[in-house]
Amino acid sequence: KHLNRHQKNLALKQKKLSRKTQGSKSRKKFRKKVANVHERIANSRQDFLHKLSRKLVDESQVIVVENLNVKGMVKNRLLSKSISDVGWGMFVNFMDYKLRQKSAKLIEVDRFFPSSKT
């Protein structure tokens, strides 16, 4: 979501950067422009995750999250960009510290835990 919004701009700037001669002043300037686009993407992702985690924490006392194998899921070449863009680890960290401030609980469940069995 966040990367897709800036994908065209990022690709354009990276293409222009690749055409600059190495070690030149204009290449250094353009590297900063590409870095600014990456920073924008990271900031928008972080802002979204902060707002979502705050909403979830305000609504509940206990949150249960599944311990996902993100490294294994990124190996799927069709989904890897989307999975990397989500930032699940950052989201869990945000919820964890916000729940601690509220004196609530975050429970991590193993991905093979049979939660539907009674």
Mean pLDDT of the chain, nearest integer:
87
* CB atoms closer than 10 angstroms to residue 60: 14
Could you give the CA distance from residue 96 to residue 90 in angstroms, rounded to a whole number?
10
Reply yes or no on whether the pLDDT at 118 is more than 70.
Answer: no
Determine, yes or no, domain membership for 67: yes
- Is 91 a member of any domain? yes
Q: How far is CA 113 from CA 50, 58, 71, 72, in A?
A: 28, 27, 19, 18
**pLDDT tens column, 17-65:** 999 999 999 999 999 999 999 999 999 999 999 999 999 999 988 888 8
Kindly state the helix (H) or strand (E) to which residue 107 belongs, with its residue range: strand 105-110
Which pTM value belongs to this model? Answer: 0.78
Q: Is residue 117 included in any domain, yes or no?
A: no
User: How many domains is the chain partitioned into structurally?
Assistant: 1
Percent of the chain topping pLDDT 90: 46
Q: Where in the sequence is the domain holding 98, given as residue range(s)?
A: 2-110
CA distance 47 to 115: 31
115 located within any domain? no
| Interatomic CA distance for residues 95 and 108, integer angstroms | 12
- Residue 16 in any domain: the answer is yes
Q: Quick check: is 14 in a domain?
A: yes
Predicted confidence (pLDDT) at residue 84 exceeds the cutoff of 90: no
* pLDDT for residue 12: 93
Q: Is residue 26 part of a domain?
A: yes
Residue 27 maps to a domain: yes
